[in-house]
Structure formats: C-alpha cells, structure tokens
Chains A and B, each alone.
Chain A
Amino acid sequence: MLFIDPVFEWIVCLALALLMATAAWQKLRHPKMFRGVLEQYRILPEPVPRAASIIIPLGELASALALMFPDTRDLGSVSTAALLTSYAFAMAVNLVRGRRYLDCGCHLGSHRQRISGFLVLRNGLLVLLTLSLLLPTTPRVVEWFDMGIVCYGLGLTTLLYHICNTLDANRHRLSALS
C-alpha cells in the first residue's frame, strides 16, 4: 500500500487550491476574454462557451474550497483533476489541429502565452499530483516545524511554477524573433 506524508499532502493541496482560486479569480474578472479564449479553442459548440465561461470558474472556486478541508479533499482532488485534464485535452486537440498560435488563456488580462506541448505536459504532471491526494497519509504526529515546511514548500512550488511558465512564454517570444 502506498502512503504519502502529511506534509507533502498539505503542500500539494494548498498549492493546488491556490492555483485553482487564482485561475477562477482571473476568469471571473475577465469573463469576456475567457469566453473569447473558449470560442477560440473550438471544442464546445456555439452556445456552450457563454455558459461555460461562468460555470468553469465557479467549478474551479468550488474545487479550491473543497481541497482546503480534509472532509471534502477527495472530491476536490477529483474535480481539480477533471478540470486540469479537460484543459490539457483542449490544448492537445488544438496542437494536433496545428493551431499552435492560440492563446492558452493562462494569464487573462495581462500577457499572451501560446499553447504548447509543455503546457499539456505541465497539466499532466499537475493531474498526477492531484490524484496523489487520494492516497492515504502516513499516520504520524504533525509538529509545529512541519507547518514551517508546509509554508516553505508552498512558497517554493509557487515560485518554481511561475518560473517554468515564464520560461515557456519566453521561448515563444524568442522564436518569434528569429
């Protein structure tokens, strides 16, 4: 039987909750832009993007909340994994269609980032991390120092996530120059 450490579980679920909450916040702040992105992906038939542009951010917000509480954590991790998989699927379909120039919609309201294999891979890894939350935790006493590790881990994963994303965006800007 596989077990995960409670510290690891806390870092993963807080980081994912933060990710989902910021994603939902961005989408709710720029609903028109998000609808545009959904339409551009050309996955959902015509009237659906309008409704989806409200439902998806609400789903993200609910998942973020569910991840925060131990009782609803399993439900939250399944819904988060489902959302992340659907984004990866939408990007993969458009990459196969050859529409590499699409904006991924990761930074609504600020800069553009094109869809890429990296983003599909990133979502795949995030899904694996999310599903790891379904595993039982090692029974051990969580001390005050563990909470320090959780804060540190959360800060570091957030920073590394942003660094990787920015590097991918830079790669496209650089290739646009040559």
Chain B
Amino acid sequence: MNTTLLVATTISWGAIIALAITVLALVRQVGLLHERISPAGALSIDKQSLRAGEPVPSFQLPSLTGGNVTLGADFPQARCTLLFFLSETCPVCKTLLPVLTSVAKQEQSWLNLVFASDGDKQAHLDFIERRQLQAFPYVLSMELGVAFEIGKLPYGVLIEENGKLISHGLVNTREHLESLIEARRLGAPTVQTFMAAQTSA
C-alpha cells in the first residue's frame, strides 16, 4: 500500500511540474505575441490642413541631388510620390534608409521617393554622400515641413499622381511604411476606414 501511494504521489508530482512548465511556456509565448503585434500601422497624427483625398499644397523646390522637385495639384506627375521627412541626426531615420531605398526600387513602376528635411545644407550633402542617396531627390525646405505640419520624425506622406493625399503617418518600421503603401492599394487612408467600408457594404 505504501509503495503504491509513493509511486502515485511521485507520478502526480511529475505531472504537476510538467503542467507548470507548459503554463510558463504558454505565458511567455502570449507575452511574445503581445510584443510582436504592437506596431500595427503607421500612426497618423491628426492634421488640420491634410485630409486623405484632398490636394496637398503645391511646391517647386531644388533638389540637393540635382534637378527640381514638384509637388501638389499644380504639377501632375507620372507616378505617386512618397515624401519622406527625415533628419540627418535621427537614428530611426538612418535604420530605415535601406528599407526605403529597397522599397523604392521594388515599387519604382508607380512610386517616386523624395526625401525632405531642413537645416544646414552642407550637413545634408555629407549625409547624402555617406548614405549614398544620390539616386533620390532630396529637398531642404522649412516651408514644406510647416505645410505638412511635421512635428515628429520620420514621417511619411504618400501623394497621388494628381497631387491628392493618399495617406500619411509616423514611420518607425518597415510595417509602418508598408501600411502607407497598402492604403493606396485598398483605397482607404487607414485600416479603420477600410474596416468601416467593409462592414457597411
């Protein structure tokens, strides 16, 4: 009888320990999932002057890499424009540059990438040299940043060929950038509008 009890107890201990290990593993996985799903899309910061579907202010600016950059309803383009606001000192901008250039190459049939910033011209020329951005238009203009109400960097603004705004938002990861591009494909500026359109249809 004693031996039976002993064996039974030992087996149940083993089972409880195994279950506890399983629960711990599950709990850790849940934590990992929470972490992975956190940045779902580019955070659009509400702007007074910018609404999806409405034309953006027109600009004609000289590019540091040569030529002129035109924006807005007054200058219809052959391709969409991704206006990417960055600073030569912001670390997130630097880590995003390879992603941006690779996306721009992949989507070059319809997308034109334009970098925008302001500040010291020489510092930006050095930055272009260091990061090998000579292939892309790069404009320096305080007015541009003010017109698009850019408060936080890096910020992406996607503009249609006819100068209308498609989507805009803070871009911290590749997923954020893709969410801006996805907005054009779905014809909805945010996931929320897309979901609302789906349920009402």
Contacts and interface: CB of A to CB of B under 8 A. Distances in A.
A47 B31 CA distance: 37
A115 B100 CA distance: 38
Contact of B34 (A145, A152, A174): A174
Given A173-B31, A174-B34, A177-B37, A163 B20 contact: yes
B24 A162 contact: yes
Contacts of A156: 16-17, 20
Contact of B17 (A145, A152, A173, A174): A152
Interface in B16-63: 16-17, 20-21, 23-24, 27-28, 30-31, 34-35, 37-38
A167 B27 contact: yes
B13 interface: yes
A145 B21 contact: no
Given A166-B27, A166-B31, A170-B34, A159 B17 contact: yes
B16 to A, nearest CB: 7
A159 B35 CA distance: 22
Given A145-B6, A152-B13, A152-B17, A163 B24 contact: yes
B34 A163 contact: no
Nearest to A159: B20
Contacts of A159: 17, 20-21, 23-24
Contacts of A163: 20, 23-24, 27
Contacts of A155: 17
Contacts of A167: 27
Contacts of A177: 34, 37-38
Interface in A115-164: 145, 148, 152, 155-156, 159-160, 162-163
B27 A173 contact: no
23 contacts: A148-B10, A156-B20, A159-B20, A159-B21, A159-B23, A159-B24, A160-B20, A162-B24, A163-B23, A163-B24, A166-B24, A166-B28, A166-B31, A169-B31, A170-B27, A170-B30, A170-B34, A173-B35, A173-B38, A174-B34, A176-B34, A176-B38, A177-B37
Interface residues of B, number: 17
Nearest to B6: A145
Contacts of A176: 34, 38
A170 B31 contact: yes
Nearest to B34: A173
Which among A155, A156, A159 has the greatest number of chain B C-beta atoms within 10 A?
A159
A159 to B, nearest CB: 4
A173 B37 CA distance: 10
A169 B35 CA distance: 11
A166 B29 CA distance: 10
A151 to B, nearest CB: 9
Contacts of B30: 170
Nearest to A153: B13
Interface string A68-101: 0000000000000000000000000000000000
Contacts of B38: 173, 176-177
Contacts of A160: 20
A178 B200 CA distance: 24
B195 to A, nearest CB: 16
Nearest to A164: B27
Given A145-B6, A176-B34, 12 more contacts: A148-B10, A159-B21, A159-B23, A166-B27, A166-B28, A167-B27, A169-B31, A170-B27, A170-B34, A173-B31, A173-B38, A177-B38
